[in-house]
Amino acid sequence: MSVITIFTIIALCLIGLLHFYWAMGGKFAALQAIPTENGKPLINPGKIAAVIVGIALFRFAFVAYMLYFYDLSSSSYRDYFIISGWILSGIFILRGVGEFNAVGLFKKIKSSEFAYYDTRFYTPYALFMGLVFAVLAYAA
């Protein structure tokens, strides 16, 4: 499980860095990260939203670190990190299931560039992260 946890921490940090890059005006992979319908973006996240998501992703990585690598048995924060792990598991699983239109397993819009990447990468990754956080929270 340690290799999976290290992968989780690194992946979350890299995706967090990507959000900071977008917040600074970067364009790499930005078009593939926003759901579209008929070529029009369904959301228009700004720089502040990108920074908030980037910070959240680093915090998620910290929760994974604490749940696996830190001895929480005598910590007063034990319950906080376990509950956080379960909440993150739920968030990632909900992201994987989606909102039944443009994102997730049951999306209706399947012909956009975002849908291509969502089907092959984003949704499986989200479901995998949901499972990882559930296992980490359970084992802590």
pTM reported for the whole predicted model: 0.93
Q: Count how many Cα atoms sit within 13 Å of the Cα of residue 138 in the half-sphere of its side chain.
A: 8
Q: Which residue has the tokens 């005006």?
A: 25
Residue 1: predicted pLDDT: 80
Residue 12: predicted pLDDT: 98
Q: Tens of pLDDT along 43-100?
A: 999 999 999 999 999 999 999 999 999 988 889 999 999 999 999 999 999 999 999 9
Q: Tens of pLDDT along 109-132?
A: 999 999 999 999 999 999 999 999
Percent of the chain with pLDDT over 90: 94
Distance (Å, whole) CA 124 – CA 95: 10
**What does 54-91 look like in DSSP terms, one character per residue?**
HHHHHHHHHHHHHHHHS--TT-TTHHHHHHHHHHHHHH
Residue 119: predicted pLDDT: 97
Percent of the chain with pLDDT over 70: 100
- Residue 63 near residue 101 (C-beta atoms within 8 A): no
